[in-house]
């Protein structure tokens, strides 16, 4: 199943049981009528970090040392590449599809024609950028440079970068739209190292950026971070993969910011890149 199939809204008379059970519990706690036939979509979020520092939890996105900063007011986004060939007339990426939220936390999207190193302003104004995908290019590999998504007003708050060859924004930060819930089902990752004799492991957790919107035991009062599980990794060739599988089944409430954090858990070594993903259902409660 491709990305465009996964993100497409589709009606479902019944969701997978762990998802439906989590949603029913949430609706009962909020005294919201339960019905059948929710509209939902399945999303896979890829994320990466260029090098964990070995001792503390870091937010998983492409910036190595800085914490992600959300914008505090809706505004247009400036989009550019550092490669002149990422343009409609070039051999690199041609178009970028942005998906996110407006100031009312309603879903919006926009397709941008890239213009190389010259910034292009979006027509729409955004409070959140959830996804960004290169949709057309002049070569099979897609993006040749690094795309930066910069707010027009709060220019110091980078909303994401897409690295050469990735073609997808690899940040773990996601904001749940209004009148929706997100149910995270699977969270996995791996450490990438060239030192095959290195014996280390990783610890991964979900974190609530705004500190109150994980749904725990029927309330919206929660700590700023919540670790539904810990995954240790064992050495396999040049990579560390989760040693066990399983579902998270963590419900995140409407208008909630959340992300993934990771650190080295055993024999910590600085500078080891992390690659991860999580799978979730985003369910529309308003229909």
Q: In residues, how long is the chain?
A: 287
pLDDT in tens, 98-111: 999 999 999 999 99
- Domains of the chain (ranges plus CATH)? 3-68+173-284 (2.60.120), 77-162 (no CATH)
Residue for token pair 């040392």: 65
Residues facing residue 46 across a β-bridge: 277
Residues facing residue 132 across a β-bridge: 98
- Find the largest Cα–Cα distance for the chain: 56
Task: Decide if 8 contacts 41 (C-beta within 8 A).
Answer: yes
DSSP letter assigned to residue 68: P
Q: What is the pLDDT of residue 221?
A: 31
Mean pLDDT score of the chain: 78
pLDDT in tens, 60-70: 999 877 789 99
Query: Residue 286: how many CA atoms within 13 Å on its side-chain side?
Result: 7
- CA 210 – CA 196 distance, rounded (Å): 39
- CA 144 – CA 19 distance, rounded (Å): 39
Pull the structure tokens for residue 114. Answer: 């890239």
Pull the structure tokens for residue 77. Answer: 């986004």
pLDDT at 3 over 60: no
Task: Name the more confident of 118 and 18.
Answer: 118
Q: What is the pLDDT of residue 192?
A: 74
Q: What is the pLDDT of residue 73?
A: 97
User: 205, 155, 49, 171: which is closest to 100 by C-alpha?
Assistant: 171
Centroid of chain to Cα 2: 17
Q: Which of 23-37, 91-105, 220-234, 238-252 has the highest mean pLDDT?
A: 91-105
Task: Name the more confident of 192 and 88.
Answer: 88
């Amino acid at each position: 199943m491709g990305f465009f199939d996964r993100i497409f809204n589709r009606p479902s008379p019944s969701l997978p049981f762990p998802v439906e059970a989590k949603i029913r519990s949430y609706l009962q706690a909020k005294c919201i009528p339960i019905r059948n036939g929710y509209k939902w979509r399945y999303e896979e979020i890829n994320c990466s970090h260029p090098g964990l520092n070995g001792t503390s939890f870091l937010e998983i996105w492409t910036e190595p040392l800085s914490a992600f900063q959300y914008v505090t007011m809706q505004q247009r986004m400036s989009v550019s590449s550092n490669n002149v060939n990422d343009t409609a007339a070039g051999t690199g990426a041609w178009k970028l599809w942005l998906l996110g939220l407006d100031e009312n936390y309603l879903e919006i999207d926009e397709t941008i024609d890239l213009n190389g190193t010259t910034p292009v302003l979006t027509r729409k104004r955004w409070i959140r950028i959830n996804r960004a995908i290169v949709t057309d290019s002049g070569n099979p590999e897609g993006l040749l440079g690094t795309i930066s998504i910069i707010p027009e007003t709060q220019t110091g708050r980078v909303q994401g970068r897409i690295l050469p060859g990735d073609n997808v924004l690899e940040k773990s930060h996601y904001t749940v739209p209004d009148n929706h819930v997100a149910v995270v089902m699977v969270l996995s990752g791996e450490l990438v190292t060239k030192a095959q004799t290195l014996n280390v492991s990783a610890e991964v957790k979900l974190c609530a950026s705004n500190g109150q919107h994980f749904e725990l035991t029927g309330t919206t009062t929660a700590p700023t971070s919540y670790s539904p599980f810990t995954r240790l990794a064992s050495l396999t060739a040049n990579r560390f993969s989760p040693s066990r599988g399983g579902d998270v089944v963590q419900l995140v409430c409407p208008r909630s910011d959340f992300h993934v954090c990771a650190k080295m858990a055993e024999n910590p070594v600085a500078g080891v890149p992390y690659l991860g993903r999580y799978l979730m259902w985003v369910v529309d409660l308003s229909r």
